[in-house]
């Protein structure tokens, strides 16, 4: 028996919604597709949710969609010795491969593939694009940059290199 509507209701399963009773209640309330967020949880957690969904599908005789949300590559800066820092437009800021805790003048960037792709004039986006850096000089294990758009920067914020194809896999 299928539901006869054009829209689908999607629900994300997580720690608070992964038991059989909760999943059944969500399904009976109208959920058509259950999203499994592979950025969180273990393989055994997802396997258990999958089994619950397929058993519910068998019991009800209705198809249940499962959306496997796979995470992409995680390119992130390292950590800061004294907590978050404030980067000011115009200041110099160094990115380095070496695994040393950062400060307001530098931070680790543990991704040699980024350094291999950098060249002067490229821009880097940090923290979902909130901060922008311009590469002034670079090598295989460092990049001297100038802050174009400043703001707060804390541990393990994301790094993006727009317009550059990095030699990394699409899935992690």
Task: Report pLDDT digits (tens) over 67-126.
Answer: 998 877 789 999 999 999 999 999 999 999 998 899 999 999 999 999 999 999 999 999
Q: Could you give the 3-state DSSP secondary structure of residue 36?
A: strand
**Distance between CA atoms of 74 and 111, rounded to whole angstroms?**
10
* 71, 116, 117, 146, 148 from 132: Cα distances, Å: 24, 19, 17, 9, 5
* Average pLDDT of the chain, as a whole number: 92
Structure tokens at 28: 């009976």
Does the pLDDT at position 44 exceed 70? yes
Q: Could you give the 3-state DSSP secondary structure of residue 163?
A: coil
Give the predicted TM-score (pTM) of the model: 0.68
Does the pLDDT at position 137 exceed 70? yes
**Distance between CA atoms of 75 and 110, rounded to whole angstroms?**
8
Task: Indicate the range of 16-20, 131-135, 146-150 predicted with least confidence.
Answer: 16-20
Q: Could you give the 3-state DSSP secondary structure of residue 27?
A: helix
Report whether 160 contacts 75 (CB < 8 A): yes
């Amino acid at each position: 028996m299928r539901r006869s509507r054009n829209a689908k209701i999607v629900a994300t399963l997580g720690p608070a919604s992964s038991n059989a009773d909760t999943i059944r209640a969500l399904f009976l309330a109208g959920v058509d597709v259950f999203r499994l967020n592979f950025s969180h949880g273990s393989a055994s957690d997802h396997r258990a949710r999958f089994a619950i969904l397929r058993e519910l599908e068998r019991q009800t005789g209705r198809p249940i969609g499962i959306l496997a949300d796979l995470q992409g590559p995680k390119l992130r800066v390292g950590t800061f010795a004294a907590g978050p820092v404030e980067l000011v437009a115009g200041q110099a800021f160094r990115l380095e491969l070496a695994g040393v805790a950062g400060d307001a003048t530098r931070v680790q960037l543990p991704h040699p593939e980024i350094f291999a792709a950098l060249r002067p004039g490229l821009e880097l986006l940090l923290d979902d694009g909130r901060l922008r850096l311009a590469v002034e000089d670079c090598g295989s294990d460092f990049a001297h940059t100038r802050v174009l758009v400043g703001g707060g920067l804390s541990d393990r914020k994301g790094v993006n290199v727009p317009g550059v194809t990095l030699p990394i896999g699409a899935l992690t």
